Structure 1
Amino acid sequence: MLSTARFSLEWEKVRGSSVNSSCPPTIMSASTDPYKLLLAGYSGKVASYTFTPPSTLTLDAEVQGEAGKSPSWAAFSPSLPVAYVCDEDESKGMVHALSLPGLQKAGHATETDGKGPCSAIVVGHLLFVANYLTGSTSIHSPTSSDGSLVSTTPSRIIPFHRFPPGSTGPVSSRQDRSYAHQVIADPSGRFVYIVDLGADQVHRLRVPESGRADEVEAVGETEIEEGAGPRHLAFHCDSATGHTYAYLACELNTTLLAFHVDPKDGSLQPIGEAQSSLPPGLDAGGTPADGNARTTSEIAVSPCGRFVDVGTRGDPEEDHIAVFARRESGQVEWVGWDGVGGRNLRHFSLSTDGKWVAAASQNDGRVVMLRRDDESGRLTMTGEASIDFEKVAFAGFVAAGR
């Protein structure tokens, strides 16, 4: 594992040779090198593992309750060995800073002034958190030089609402108000997006050069088809052209949407039509009030930019990851549907070289490793590489240097 100083030096070397500064590069690991993983689950447990291909998983550290009652999503510091873990406890939203890989507390926790924090991202020295149950984003500023959180309360809260006020979306059981399901930054770090499942919108914030929370500006939103229930967004920046693309997994109607990102204002411009995340001819089931029975979960773009992966849930035997081929235009085409050996695929992540996928199935309490075929993009489970982890909600690869 790189020291903080060495990681910063390596980052500067790579960044200096980048084709386009709007497309920050990823430090790639060789496929035979060990990878670091962070797992979190609603049982209250957080653990760090080392994965040595093709099938060895070694526990590095494990803690119970250090990140609250219901740890789920974790955001990683861009330069320090620190993870910010959301406690999704419905009574009071909290974020806990833990060191990597030992998982010691890095300073105090912070309240989010919202309920059900389910996603977070670090942009510069600002930590953004999506509060699902209260439909808001909390901004925490600043993080200190060692990665610990400075304040026990957020610097700012930005609430979101369905429009018109008091309205309910087509999927009435899930869209009676705003539900902020994800917060994510574009590759340049100039804009932060909040994916709102309840309002069928993707909200957009501009991050100021000053890095001050009080200067973060709400600059617009992208309207999504009513009843789609947008859940998670992923970006890809083409380093050859500097063009940035976004891909949106919609939970309630089980679709994938593609967008071009406007470089000036960060707005999302649709590309083509919505694509089903299910194999052709497979019935999504469900009811109008509850949405589809087969839904989407996580989404990721392979580092090479050739493939887009979308998690699907609701299969009675095992859930799957839908693999799409990504074209130069930004459009996607169906490739295949690969099983993950468990039910309720809540989360998955890609290794920094894109060769491996860690998939977390909440209902079966299982994390499995899948390998990607370089040519087809298809994913295959590595039989021996699995972890039993009760109520697992997050399985994130830790980037080099952390």
Structure 2
Amino acid sequence: MIGTIDGDGLVVADVLDDGALAVTRALPEVREPSFLHLAGGTLYAVNELPEGTVTALDPTDLTVRRTRPTLGAQPTHLTTHAGHLVVAHYLDGTVGAHPLAADGTPGESSTRLRHDGAEPHAHQVLPDPSGRWLISVDLGSDAVHTHRIVDGALTAHARLDLPPGLGPRHLAFHGDRAHILGELRPELVAADWDAATGTFTPAWALPLPAGNQPAEIVLSPDGRFAYATLRGDNTVAVVDLEHREVVQAVPVGGDWPRHCALDGTHLYVANQRSHSVTRLPWDPATGLLSEPVGETRVRGASVVAFLG
């Protein structure tokens, strides 16, 4: 599945034997699906609109089960946690949680909170590895927040303040270590996670190639490498996490790379401005990438998700 911004809605593609993607159809009724999440037999698409909505689909035939308002402005990310669909809203800096019905569709009611700060911009929400806590990354407040849902109410628990001007966009966990990607200053920050207390402790920071606006971070399954898409020079930075160094900056073969995903032996990159998804061969043994070997045209490509 390929989500888009100013594109053709939700785009469906088959994965061929060589890893290439072949577009089969588009669902224009799923508007501005800038991020996707599959959980519990339901595919969720956040609809990044000034008055946000979210669409729940059946992942087998991609019929729309329900589209409902998120009650926030410009939602950019979503996840499921504690029986709720949780949505991050960039424009108004809020996180909203909607209880899920038995069929996986979000209900009418919601619980919401707004991050502290003059201009909060919530950009990502995800559960911690233990499943006990909800983590939200806020670009505007230079902070990572820990929340809980208690008796149906979303509550703030703790906050990790990061260096001013970092603009944290997304993070990725491997065990009890979180790797936080700065967008406004190209930097990767590592923090140790304590699930018992629901708190982070900063560990180290690594500059990424200058002059870029990083967008997405994914980790290799063994936790040895991080991959960060860089909007600017249009590369993927490969970071050796053990030695804390950038070991590669590989061209993505497109313009303005956003989300990326590992699948099989390829890294797939959604390039918004060049309207493409490119694939870069990935060596799981060395963690290294090769230059792109293929491209699939998708207008406004923003996110790539594999359902199988």
Query: Shorter-chain TM-score: what band?
Result: over 0.9
Partner of residue 50, structure 1: 14
Rounded to whole Å, the distance in 2 between the matches of 1:186 and 1:55 is: 31
Q: Percent identity?
A: 29
Partner of residue 149, structure 1: 106
Partner of residue 252, structure 1: 184
Name the aligned partner's letter for residue 95 of structure 1: V
Rounded to whole Å, the distance in 2 between the matches of 1:245 and 1:363 is: 33
Contact 1:41–1:71, Cα closer than 8 Å, also in 2? yes
Please identify the structure whose Cα radius of gyration is greater. Answer: 1
User: Given the two structures, how large is their TM-score scaled by the length of structure 2?
Assistant: 0.94
Partner of residue 85, structure 1: 45
- Structural mapping, 1:301-320, within 5 Å: 301-315=219-233, 319-320=234-235
Name the aligned partner's letter for residue 162 of structure 2: I
Name the aligned partner's letter for residue 359 of structure 1: V
Contact 2:46–2:77, Cα closer than 8 Å, also in 1? yes
Contact 1:44–1:71, Cα closer than 8 Å, also in 2? no
Partner of residue 287, structure 1: none
Are residues 1:76 and 2:38 paired? Answer: yes
Partner of residue 358, structure 1: 268
- Displacement of 1:183: 1.0
Are residues 1:96 and 2:74 paired? Answer: no
CA separation of 1:40/1:100 partners in 2, compared to 1, >3 Å: closer, same or farther? farther
Larger RCO (CA under 8 A, 6+ residues apart): 1
Partner of residue 23, structure 2: 59
Rounded to whole Å, the distance in 2 between the matches of 1:74 and 1:58 is: 19
Alignment equivalent of 2:297, drawn from 372, 379, 388: 388
Rounded to whole Å, the distance in 2 between the matches of 1:102 and 1:55 is: 22
Give the 3-state SS of the residue equivalent to 2:238 in structure 1. Answer: strand
Q: Deviations over 1:44-63 (max 9, x none)?
A: 41022221342432334421
Name the aligned partner's letter for residue 379 of structure 1: L
Are residues 1:368 and 2:301 paired? Answer: no
Give the 3-state SS of the residue equivalent to 1:379 in structure 2. Answer: coil
Alignment equivalent of 2:97, drawn from 139, 147, 169: 139
Contact 2:281–2:293, Cα closer than 8 Å, also in 1? no
Rounded to whole Å, the distance in 2 between the matches of 1:56 and 1:39 is: 17
- Displacement of 1:298: 0.2
Residue ranges of structure 1 left out of the alignment (5+ in a row): 1-36, 167-176, 238-243, 285-293
The structure with the greater share of residues assigned to strand is: 2
Alignment equivalent of 1:299, drawn from 187, 208, 217: 217
Alignment equivalent of 2:120, drawn from 154, 160, 178: 178
Give the 3-state SS of the residue equivalent to 2:198 in structure 1. Answer: coil
Partner of residue 377, structure 1: 287
- Displacement of 1:299: 0.5
Rounded to whole Å, the distance in 2 between the matches of 1:213 and 1:67 is: 28
- Structural mapping, 1:283-294, within 5 Å: 283-284=210-211, 294=212
Give the 3-state SS of the residue equivalent to 1:341 in structure 2. Answer: coil
Alignment equivalent of 2:240, drawn from 307, 316, 325: 325
- Displacement of 1:367: 0.3
- Displacement of 1:258: 0.6
Are residues 1:229 and 2:167 paired? Answer: yes
Q: Deviations over 1:291-344 (max 9, x none)?
A: xxx1111001111212111111112xxx111111222xxx73322111110111
User: Given the two structures, how large is their TM-score scaled by the length of structure 1?
Assistant: 0.73
Are residues 1:194 and 2:136 paired? Answer: yes
Rounded to whole Å, the distance in 2 between the matches of 1:48 and 1:99 is: 13
- Structural mapping, 1:203-218, within 5 Å: 203-208=145-150, 212-214=151-153, 216-218=154-156
Contact 1:41–1:389, Cα closer than 8 Å, also in 2? no
- Corresponding residue pairs, total: 308
